[in-house]
């Protein structure tokens, strides 16, 4: 089925009317023209377009040409459209996340009446990670590893500075994940400062998303604590807002979903790395050497 040709053929209201008439029964050109309230030459051209698209067939009977509807292309198109709808509506999919963000966005915009409106708002995240604290720490502080996970699902890091020392500078810029050539405007940019660094144990920093004019939307205070477990590492993240501006509502609305997705990507990345390390160990490759090669 040539879906493009079929959709183009069906998009014309006059041709769509002919399809409806032929769904009832096969009919000759003259009768179709009368029922459609159109001139016969125009009707013939429309029928020829539908026939080229494969949705109708015709045969000459005596002096008449009779057209009939072919149901198979319509069923194939309906199945394709149903698959598209099912993909968009799948539980936990991107559309569901988009709708959740939209609902939160409306509520936050109504709440953002004056500066400081979101100050004190806090979020808590926890992930049990399949990696030792030292490897988790590297993913939290080393730029090449940070770029693998430090954005929500539909974004990618386009610029990143992370100086893992007290007073160190942080710059995070991100774009749409499919904007590989940088043709679309930057999706977001944030700047901040590292406050506390205890390798393998605790990382604290401040990060402020920037508004389009370059001013700060709010300041996020993040405190990440790592605890070793038998299976790897428990990561607790405490996220607190200060200095919120009226224009920060769009950013605040996305914190729970967006940062949660980033941590899910971190978890998946570490799980994949753990599997790769196990595979290398099984084949005799030194695991420490393989880990260092990711720097």
Which listed CATH number (1.10.630.10, 1.10.10.10, 3.30.230.10, 3.40.50.360) goes with 3-88? 1.10.10.10
Q: Which CATH architecture has domain 94-292?
A: 2-Layer Sandwich (3.30)
What does the pLDDT look like over 238-269, one tens digit per residue? 999 999 999 999 999 999 999 999 999 999 99
Closest CA to 204 of 195, 215, 192: 195
- The domain limits of the chain are 3-88, 94-292
Quote the pLDDT of residue 263: 97
Residues paired with 123 in a beta bridge:
239
What does the pLDDT look like over 95-115, one tens digit per residue? 888 888 888 899 999 999 999
Question: Of residues 99 and 137, which shows the higher confidence score?
Answer: 137
Question: Of residues 276 and 122, which shows the higher confidence score?
Answer: 122
pLDDT value at 279 more than 80: no
Specify the residue for token string 């050497």. Answer: 289
Domains 3-88 and 94-292 in one fold: no
What does the pLDDT look like over 21-61, one tens digit per residue? 999 999 999 999 999 999 999 999 999 999 999 999 999 98
Round to whole Å and give the CA distance between 295 and 293.
5
Quote the pLDDT of residue 1: 64
**Residues of the chain above pLDDT 90, percent:** 79
Radius of gyration for the chain, computed over Cα atoms and rounded to the nearest angstrom: 29
Round to whole Å and give the CA distance between 270 and 232.
10
Quote the pLDDT of residue 292: 33
Residues paired with 241 in a beta bridge:
220
Quote the pLDDT of residue 280: 53
Phi, psi (rounded to 5 degrees) for 58: -140, 160
What does the pLDDT look like over 216-243, one tens digit per residue? 999 999 999 999 999 999 999 999 999 9
**Which one-letter DSSP state was computed for residue 216?**
B
Q: SS in 3 state form for 248-272?
A: HHHHHHCHHHHHHHHHHHHHHHHHH
For the full predicted model, state whether its pTM sits above 0.75.
no
- 248, 115 Cβ separation under 8 angstroms: no
pLDDT value at 274 more than 80: no
Quote the pLDDT of residue 87: 87
């Amino acid at each position: 089925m040539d879906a493009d040709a079929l959709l183009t053929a069906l998009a014309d209201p006059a041709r769509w009317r002919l399809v409806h008439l032929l769904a009832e029964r096969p009919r000759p050109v003259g009768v179709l023209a009368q029922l459609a309230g159109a001139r016969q030459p125009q009707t013939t051209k429309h029928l020829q377009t539908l026939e080229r698209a494969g949705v109708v067939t015709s045969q000459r009977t005596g002096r008449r040409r009779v057209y009939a509807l072919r149901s198979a292309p319509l069923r194939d198109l309906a199945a394709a459209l149903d698959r598209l709808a099912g993909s968009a509506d799948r539980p936990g999919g991107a559309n569901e996340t988009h709708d959740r963000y939209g609902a939160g966005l409306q509520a936050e915009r109504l709440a953002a009446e004056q500066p400081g409106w979101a100050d004190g708002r806090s979020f808590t995240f926890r992930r049990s990670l399949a990696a030792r604290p030292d490897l988790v720490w590297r993913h939290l502080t080393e730029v090449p590893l940070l770029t693998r996970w430090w954005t929500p699902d539909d974004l990618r890091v386009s610029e990143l500075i992370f100086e893992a020392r007290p007073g160190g500078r942080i710059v995070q810029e991100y774009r749409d994940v499919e904007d590989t050539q940088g043709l679309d405007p930057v999706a977001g940019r944030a700047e901040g400062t590292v406050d506390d660094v205890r390798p393998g144990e605790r990382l604290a920093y401040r990060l402020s998303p920037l508004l389009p004019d370059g001013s700060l939307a709010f300041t996020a205070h993040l405190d990440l604590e790592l605890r070793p477990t038998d299976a790897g590492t428990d990561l607790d993240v405490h996220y607190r807002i200060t200095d919120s501006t009226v224009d920060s509502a769009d950013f605040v609305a996305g914190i729970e979903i967006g940062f949660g997705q980033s941590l899910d990507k971190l978890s998946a990345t570490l799980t994949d790395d753990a599997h790769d390390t196990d595979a290398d160990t099984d084949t005799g490759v030194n695991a420490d050497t393989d880990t260092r090669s990711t720097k």
